[in-house]
């Protein structure tokens, strides 16, 4: 790929709201992991360089290394993470640093106490802070500037749980055919004792995605077509009058204290609605 072709790609990505950057600056990577736990020896064995965009690399010397252990887990550093380390001369309280203590290396939080005594602090209660004694040969190698997390692996049991929930949801949203809807209307019709109770049937059909909300005309037409001889046929006006308070919600959320009908009448409406849902699901 030529420089001009690469430039065209960057321009295209920028127009799409992205921020492309060229990885043109190498950072050395050291094979031996740095302990996030008790200090340990680290070799100076150098592996392949990692390439980063120049904009993300400090003017100070930098290198990459891999974290090992769990003493910094509460700071977001897990075993296997890649650490981008800046070799700086200034380290402030609260900086996460790579420190060498008598030749052993560890990752900790650098901090002074009220008396000016320097400490290295873990971010895991299992481990104890390290007091830096005057006689110790202590050297701060660098400050952690960036943490590149290792992609986690999801357990098989968790995968199967997600799949079972997805399958269940798909099963709940199965397509209800017009023929089945017609049968349900005929089955529920004997339960309807007054015209306004058809509202519970309408709401059940909305809850199961058979009808759209407030599509009363379609609903009334369906009932009249299936049950033209029924003694109590629904009207659009009566349906609209009941679409208030908790009756605007799914049937399972109907509240007797916040409904347009009370007492035994409320129980009758809800009973019809729940039975219609059961018929539609059957």
Q: Does the pLDDT at position 105 exceed 80?
A: yes
Same domain assignment for residues 132 and 182: no
Enter the pTM of the model.
0.43
Task: Give a yes or no: residue 4 inside a domain.
Answer: no
Per-residue pLDDT reduced to its tens digit, 126-164: 999 988 877 678 888 889 988 888 777 777 788 888 888
Check whether residue 140 and residue 245 sit in a common domain: no
Tell me: do 266 and 187 sit in the same domain. yes
Length of the chain: 282
- State whether 226 and 114 are in the same domain: no
Instruction: Report, as residue numbers or ranges, the catalytic residues.
Output: 71, 108
CA–CA gap between residue 9 and residue 116 (Å, rounded): 53
User: For position 175, what pLDDT does the model report?
Assistant: 80
What is the C-alpha to C-alpha distance for residues 170 and 192, in angstroms, rounded to an integer? 31
Domain boundary among 132, 148, 164: 148
Residue 38 placed within a domain: yes
Res 111 pLDDT > 90: yes
pLDDT of residue 41: 46
Specify if 192 maps to a domain.
yes
Given a contact cutoff of 8 angstroms between Cβ atoms, the answer to whether 107 and 136 are in contact is: no
Report yes or no on 265 lying in a domain: yes
Are 108 and 196 within one domain?
A: no
Same domain, 231 and 117: no
The reply to whether 111 and 217 lie within a common domain is: no
Q: How confident is the model at residue 207 (pLDDT cuts 50, 70, 90)?
A: very high
Greatest alpha-carbon pair distance for the chain in Å reads: 101
Q: Do the domain assignments include residue 45?
A: yes
118 and 205 both lie in a single domain: no
Q: Name 168's Cβ contacts closer than 8 Å, sequence gap at least 6.
A: none
**Full residue range of the structural domain in which residue 233 is found:** 174-281
Domain shared by 221 and 140, yes or no: no
Residue range 81-108: mean pLDDT, rounded: 86
* Residue 184 and residue 130 share a domain: no
Residue 279 is predicted with a pLDDT of: 95
Helices 263-281 and 198-207 pack at an angle, to 10 degrees, of 40
Contact 95, 86 (CB under 8 A): no
Distance CA 224, CA 226 (A): 6
For residue 242, pLDDT over 80 is answered with: yes
Give the per-residue pLDDT at 256: 94
Query: 59: pLDDT confidence band, cut at 50, 70 and 90?
Result: very low
Claim to verify: residue 89 and residue 197 sit in the same structural domain: no
The CATH code of the domain that includes 94 is 2.10.109.10
The percent of residues above 90 in pLDDT, for the chain, comes to 47
Look at residue 236 and tell me if it is in a domain. yes
Considering 113, 148, 183, which residue would you say is the last residue of a domain?
148
Same domain assignment for residues 140 and 178: no
Q: How far apart are CA 6 and CA 182, in angstroms?
A: 62
Angle, alpha carbons 57-63-65 (nearest 5°): 125
pLDDT at residue 2 in the model = 64
Give mean pLDDT, residues 91-97. Answer: 92
pLDDT digits (tens, 9 = 90+) for 29-49: 555 567 665 554 444 554 455
pLDDT band at 215 (very low <50, low <70, confident <90, very high): very high
Higher pLDDT: 142 or 200? It is 200
Residue 8 lies in a domain: no
- Please report which confidence band the pLDDT of residue 101 belongs to, taking 50, 70 and 90 as the band edges: confident
Number of domains forming the structure of the chain = 2
């Amino acid at each position: 790929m030529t420089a001009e072709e690469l430039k065209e790609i960057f321009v295209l990505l920028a127009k799409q709201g992205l921020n492309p950057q060229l990885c043109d600056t190498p950072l050395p990577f050291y094979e031996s992991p740095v302990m996030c736990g008790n200090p340990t020896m680290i070799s100076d064995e150098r592996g392949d360089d990692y390439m980063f965009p120049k904009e993300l690399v400090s003017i100070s010397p930098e290198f990459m290394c891999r974290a090992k252990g769990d003493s910094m887990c509460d700071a977001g550093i897990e075993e296997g993470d890649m650490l981008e380390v800046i070799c700086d001369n200034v380290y402030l309280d609260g900086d996460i640093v790579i420190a060498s203590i008598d030749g052993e290396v560890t990752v900790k939080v650098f901090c002074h106490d009220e008396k000016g005594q320097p400490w290295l602090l873990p971010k895991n209660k299992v481990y104890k802070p390290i007091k830096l004694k005057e006689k110790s040969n202590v050297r701060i190698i660098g400050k952690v500037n960036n943490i590149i997390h290792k992609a986690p692996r999801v357990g098989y049991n968790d995968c199967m749980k997600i799949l079972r929930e997805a399958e269940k949801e798909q099963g709940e949203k199965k397509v209800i055919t017009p023929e089945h809807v017609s049968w349900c209307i005929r089955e529920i019709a004997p339960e309807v004792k007054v015209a306004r109770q058809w509202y519970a049937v309408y709401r059940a059909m909305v809850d199961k995605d058979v009808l759209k909300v407030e599509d009363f005309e379609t609903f009334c037409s369906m009932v009249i077509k299936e049950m033209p001889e029924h003694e109590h046929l629904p009207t659009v006006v009566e349906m609209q009058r009941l679409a208030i308070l908790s009756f605007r919600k799914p049937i399972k959320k109907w509240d007797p204290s916040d409904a347009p009908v009370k007492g035994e009448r409320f129980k009758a409406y809800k009973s019809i609605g729940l039975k219609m849902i059961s018929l539609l699901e059957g």
